[in-house]
Amino acid sequence: MPFYRNLSIRQKQIAWAWAFLAVPVLFYVIIRFYPTGNAIMISFQNWNLLGDRTWAGLENYQKLVADPVFWKVFKNTFLYLIIGTPISLVLSFIIAYQLDKVRFMHGTLRMLYFLPFMTSAVAMAWVWRWFYQPVPTGLFNNLLAQVGISQIEFLNSTSYALPSVLAPAVWAGLGFQIIIFMAGLRAIPVSYYEAARIDGVGWWTVLTQITIPLLRPTIVFIVVFSSIGFLRIFDHVYNMTTNNPGGPLNSTKPLVLMIYGTAFDDFDMGYAAAQTVVLFLILLIVSLIQLRLLRSE
Amino acid sequence: MMKSMRMTALAGLASSAVLCAGAANAVEIEYWQYFYDARVDAMEQLIENFEEANPDITVKMTTFPYADYRTKVAAAIPAGEGPDVVQLFYGWLNDYIEAGLIQPLPEEAFPADQIDEAFFPMVQAMKRDGQYYALPTAVRSLALFYNERLFEEAGIDGPPETLDELVEDAKKLTKKDGAGNITQVGLTTGMTAQDHHWFREVLIRQFGGEPYLDDYRTVNYNNEAGLKALEFYTDLEKTHEVTSSSFMDEPQAAFKAGRAGMHIDGSFRVGSLADMRGLKWGVAELPVGPDGTASNYSSYWVNAITSKAEGEEYDAAVKFMEYITSDEAMQIWLEVVGELPAKPSVGLTEENANDPVYGPFIRGLENAHTTIFANESAQRQVLMDMVARTDIQGMPLEESLAIAAEEEQKAPPLPLRRSSHPRPSP
């Protein structure tokens, strides 16, 4: 190996660094970048999974823009985001803030809040689906009927179905966000609080002037993370509406479910890929905007 | 002693020679179907019987999960690796013929005019230009399941025979709590289950219509008959209040739980109902329409010879096809799988036609229709949405029906390889 012997120590170090890096780089290229590029290419083609791929140009995107179901689904996806993210952010912060002060059974309480996050989304969605059933099977409607209030058609309604599906999704994500918030709260130096106490500042000022500003990186992380989660919502919706996926009348259908249906029920891979590219762009734009807005000056 | 030993050796030699000769002539054909316990058991029995009668042919069965089956078959046959005899859903036939994946059944062994007579009439959907391409062993149809205990409790002496009686009985069977919430439905409904078939092939015809024209290429229910059928169907929930489509999540769950007086479902439901303890149920033919029209929906899986089978394999495949469409095979299939015989000669025997459970399904086959779907799940969705628009959004029936007819006409056909044949517009 005369070539290797002639290298300087620094060059040898670089060569070795690349040799070790090659494994993850190759992995990423094959597992992530190649399929992504392929999906973008398919979005400009017609393909039914079995036959040949034929070029379609912008046909799939034109179809998308003209498809009323797509716009309905687009709106639903943003409703999941706009309702879900703030609610889960506020709830998880309040719980984490209070939990941080509790000493009694702290570990048990934290575990209880984290439990839903570890539960399978499928099992959880089915349990909630049964909660929402009309009398005589549904828990909520049975309670309503007992106090003499008329039933609510939670899932069989174009206006209540989306919030009903969203509720367990918010609940399931809370545990994770609470843990992150608690870690963030613990990371704030105690000296700030001590200084505030010496100055005799009230709790509200402490919260708004010390805690929240210093939690900014945590908040950014949670907002970005949960936004992506709600934009990609699928398993809760699919399992709570399996009889009529995304129904009734597409009122709960998110983009990912539409992609799934187009690809694996109708085998229209090109159209499904075009929807995927749109989803990718939405995720990218939303994440960039949030990072920009929440970045500290 | 010596002599007898020599004799045994000779006999051994002779028999091994016969075995060798047998092996030289042996043909192996491959059979594919999707995996479902009872169907695999039944087919194993059929193969055993067939191999006994034809010692020079062996049949190798391969099964696949239902979800992958369609794509597996389509990918394997053109590659020359697929089965010689294959099981297909009746609705796929056109695609398979056009893609050249299956060949017509030979006229000598399967003369079209004899098959026309021997099989139930809906099997004629498997004929193209006077030649049969595929034949079923068994078929399925719809019937009315009823809860005998609830009928007794409500003082009804037998299942309803007409749609009017259906509504009257359903009223007697419905129970509500103090607040007016339904706690027991007279009849289950839900387009998500079998009701979309009941609506298409039964109700529309009973109200004087013909759901599709032009070999199921043109939707034909946006008219008076379609409107009357939709009115009848939605009135069950809205006017008569004998049902609720979201009741207990799924129609069959409500019937199994003993919370439904009547339930329309396919013969394939019999097995899971038979296992329910404490549920006493009976089966009756679907109620007839206002003018006495009886109709039913039938679906089935067929067997066909693929284009891969040639020469010896082809001859063996024809023999195998003959056996699995024979009366004997149909009786075995009925007993093991619980699916109905495809020929009146087996189905309408005294014993089968009067069977308290299978009888109503088998009798229903005489006036059954099979819908030729372009994309069954998309077409089911159209009818689901049609009812949801009237139910949730209060849209007038005429308007919702017109939208449904238009959407179903546009339902995208499922692609299979390169053969795509869009539905011609009306």
Domain for residue A54, yes or no?
A: no
Tell me if B388 and A265 make a contact (CB, 8 A cut-off): no
Gap from A128 CA to chain B (nearest CA, Å):
12
CA dihedral B379, B385, B391, B395 (to 10 degrees): -110
B248 touching A (Cβ < 8 Å): yes
* pLDDT for residue B396: 96
Q: Is B178 exposed, middle or buried (0-12, 13-18, 19+ CB in 10 A)?
A: exposed
Query: Tokens in use for A88?
Result: 């889960």
Query: Tokens in use for B271?
Result: 């097995």
Answer yes or no: do B129 and B191 share one domain. no
Give the residue among B122, B114, B199 at the shortest CA–CA distance from B366.
Answer: B122
Query: For the segment A67-97, what is each residue's pLDDT rounded down to a tens digit?
Result: 999 999 999 999 999 999 999 999 999 999 9
Answer yes or no: do A131 and A180 share one domain. yes
Q: Which domain CATH number covers A120?
A: 1.10.3720.10
Give the residue among B375, B372, B91, B382 at the shortest CA–CA distance from B222.
Answer: B382
The gap from C-alpha B200 to its chain's centroid, in whole angstroms, comes to 15
Answer yes or no: do B279 and B339 share one domain. no
Give the phi and the psi of residue B404 in degrees, each rounded to 5.
-60, -45
Mean pLDDT of chain B: 87
Q: What is residue B239's DSSP assignment?
A: T
Give percent of chain B above pLDDT 70: 91
Cβ-nearest to B415 among A48, A155, A247:
A48
Answer yes or no: do B147 and B104 share one domain. no
Helix, strand or coil for residue B162? strand
**Strand B85-89 versus strand B27-34 pairing type:** parallel
Give the phi and the psi of residue A91 in degrees, each rounded to 5.
-60, -45
Judge contact between A211 and A190, C-beta under 8 A: no
Q: List all residues of chain A from 109 to 128 with a beta carbon under 8 Å from chain B.
A: none
Answer yes or no: do A259 and A141 share one domain. yes
Q: How would residue B412 be classed by pLDDT, with cut points 50, 70 and 90?
A: confident
- Work out how many domains chain B is built from and give that number: 2
Give percent of chain B above pLDDT 90: 64
Query: For the segment B94-137, what is each residue's pLDDT rounded down to a tens digit?
Result: 878 877 889 999 999 999 999 999 999 889 889 888 899 999 99
Per-residue pLDDT averaged across A290-294, rounded? Answer: 80
Per-residue pLDDT averaged across A237-254, rounded? Answer: 92
Per-residue pLDDT averaged across B168-174, rounded? Answer: 96
Query: For the segment B391-408, what is each residue's pLDDT rounded down to a tens digit?
Result: 999 999 999 999 999 999
Q: Which residues of B130-151 are buried (b: 16+ CB within 10 A; e: fewer)?
A: eebbbbbbbbbbbbbbbbeebb
Domain assignment of residue A34, given as a range: 2-42
**Rounded distance between C-alpha atoms, residue B352 and residue B331, angstroms:** 9
Q: CA nearest A147 in B: which residue?
A: B179
Per-residue pLDDT averaged across A226-230, rounded? Answer: 92
Query: Tokens in use for A42?
Result: 């398919």
Judge contact between A261 and A252, C-beta under 8 A: no
Answer yes or no: do B45 and B174 share one domain. no
Which of B318, B339, B369 is where one domain is finished? B369
**Rounded distance between C-alpha atoms, residue A214 and residue A185, angstroms:** 9
Least confident among A57-71, A199-213, A223-237, B58-72:
B58-72
Cβ-nearest to B181 among A129, A145, A243:
A145
Gap from B183 CA to chain A (nearest CA, Å):
6
Tell me if B414 and A136 make a contact (CB, 8 A cut-off): no
Instruction: Give Cβ neighbours of residue B139 (< 8 Å, ≥ 6 apart).
Output: B120, B122, B123, B298, B299, B300, B339, B340, B341, B342, B365, B368
Query: For the segment B31-68, what is each residue's pLDDT rounded down to a tens digit?
Result: 999 988 888 999 999 999 999 999 999 999 999 888 77
* pLDDT for residue A296: 59
Judge contact between B416 and A267, C-beta under 8 A: no
Give the residue among B97, B248, B4 at the shortest CA–CA distance from A130.
Answer: B248
Answer yes or no: do A105 and A23 share one domain. no
* pLDDT for residue B80: 77
Q: How many CB atoms lie within 10 A of CB B65?
A: 10
Q: Is A294 exposed, middle or buried (0-12, 13-18, 19+ CB in 10 A)?
A: middle
Q: CA nearest A264 in B: which residue?
A: B67
Least confident among B87-101, B145-159, B215-229:
B87-101
Least confident among A273-277, B17-21, B113-117, B340-344:
B17-21
CA distances from B63 to B32, B34, B76, B96 (A): 6, 5, 13, 19
Answer yes or no: do A152 and A284 share one domain. yes
Query: For the segment B188-218, what is each residue's pLDDT rounded down to a tens digit?
Result: 999 988 999 999 999 999 999 999 998 888 9
* pLDDT for residue A1: 66
Answer yes or no: do B33 and B119 share one domain. yes
Answer yes or no: do B229 and B334 share one domain. no
* pLDDT for residue B416: 47
Tell me if B192 and A145 make a contact (CB, 8 A cut-off): no
Q: Which residues in chain B are closer than 8 Å to A48, comparing Cβ atoms?
A: 415-417, 420
Query: For the segment B278-301, what is each residue's pLDDT rounded down to a tens digit?
Result: 899 999 999 999 999 999 999 899
- State yes or no: pLDDT of B249 exceeds 80: yes
* pLDDT for residue B19: 45
Judge contact between B412 and A63, C-beta under 8 A: no
- Work out how many domains chain A is built from and give that number: 2
Instruction: Give Cβ neighbours of residue B121 (< 8 Å, ≥ 6 apart).
Output: B366, B368
Q: Which residues in chain B are closer than 8 Å to A50, comparing Cβ atoms?
A: 71, 74-75, 415-417
Q: Which residues in chain A are closer than 8 Å to B388, comparing Cβ atoms?
A: 244, 247-249
Give the residue among B90, B293, B291, B268 at the shortest CA–CA distance from B201.
Answer: B293
Answer yes or no: do A116 and A243 share one domain. yes
Domain for residue B2, yes or no?
A: no
* pLDDT for residue B16: 46
Q: List all residues of chain A from 208 to 247 with a beta carbon under 8 Å from chain B.
A: 243-244, 247
B385 touching A (Cβ < 8 Å): yes
Tell me if B71 and A50 make a contact (CB, 8 A cut-off): yes
**Rounded distance between C-alpha atoms, residue B134 and residue B127, angstroms:** 8
**Rounded distance between C-alpha atoms, residue B259 and residue B261, angstroms:** 7
Answer yes or no: do B346 and B212 share one domain. no
Q: How many CB atoms lie within 10 A of CB A167?
A: 18
Answer yes or no: do B235 and B324 share one domain. no
Q: How many helices (H) and strands (E) does chain A have?
A: 16, 2
CA distances from A287 to A39, A224, A229, A273, A291 (A): 21, 6, 11, 21, 6
Residue listed under structure tokens 């799934």:
A260
Per-residue pLDDT averaged across B308-316, rounded? Answer: 91
Per-residue pLDDT averaged across A250-267, rounded? Answer: 90
Residue listed under structure tokens 């036939």:
B93
Domain assignment of residue B274, given as a range: 142-298+370-409
B87 touching A (Cβ < 8 Å): no
Per-residue pLDDT averaged across B76-83, rounded? Answer: 82
Domain for residue B1, yes or no?
A: no
Answer yes or no: do B203 and B219 share one domain. yes
**Rounded distance between C-alpha atoms, residue A223 and residue B109, angstroms:** 70
* pLDDT for residue B169: 96
Q: Give me the sign of the Cα torsion angle A126, A132, A134, A140.
A: positive
* pLDDT for residue B415: 54
Domain for residue B8, yes or no?
A: no
**Tell me, what amino acid is at B426?**
P
Query: For the segment A87-134, what is each residue's pLDDT rounded down to a tens digit?
Result: 999 999 999 999 988 888 888 988 888 888 888 999 999 999 999 999
Q: Which domain CATH number covers B104?
A: 3.40.190.10
Q: How would residue B71 be classed by pLDDT, with cut points 50, 70 and 90?
A: confident
Domain for residue B424, yes or no?
A: no
- State yes or no: pLDDT of B12 exceeds 80: no
Answer yes or no: do B166 and B279 share one domain. yes
A268 touching B (Cβ < 8 Å): yes
Answer yes or no: do B312 and B347 share one domain. yes
Gap from A249 CA to chain B (nearest CA, Å):
6
Answer yes or no: do A124 and A265 share one domain. yes
Looking from the CA of A40 toward its CB, the CA atoms found within 13 Å total: 7
- State yes or no: pLDDT of B174 exceeds 90: yes
Answer yes or no: do A139 and A286 share one domain. yes
Domain for residue A61, yes or no?
A: no
* pLDDT for residue A50: 64
Q: Which residues in chain A are closer than 8 Å to B416, comparing Cβ atoms?
A: 48, 50
Give the phi and the psi of residue A212 in degrees, each rounded to 5.
-65, -45
Least confident among A244-253, B5-14, B71-80, B188-197:
B5-14
Answer yes or no: do A203 and A283 share one domain. yes
A100 touching B (Cβ < 8 Å): no
Answer yes or no: do A30 and A77 share one domain. no
Judge contact between B232 and B207, C-beta under 8 A: yes
**Tell me, what amino acid is at B357?**
V
**Rounded distance between C-alpha atoms, residue B330 and residue B324, angstroms:** 7
Give the residue among B60, B81, B68 at the shortest CA–CA distance from B34.
Answer: B68
Tell me if A51 and B415 make a contact (CB, 8 A cut-off): yes
Q: CA nearest B175 in A: which residue?
A: A136
Q: How would residue A275 be classed by pLDDT, with cut points 50, 70 and 90?
A: very high
Query: For the segment A181-196, what is each residue's pLDDT rounded down to a tens digit?
Result: 999 999 999 999 999 9
Answer yes or no: do A36 and A166 share one domain. no
Query: Tokens in use for B41?
Result: 């058991």
* Mutation target among B249, B256, B259, B385 for the A interface, most CBs of A within 10 A: B249
Per-residue pLDDT averaged across B7-22, rounded? Answer: 46
Tell me if A136 and B393 make a contact (CB, 8 A cut-off): no
Tell me if B259 and A136 make a contact (CB, 8 A cut-off): yes
Q: Identify the helix (H) or strand (E) that includes residue A3.
A: helix A2-5
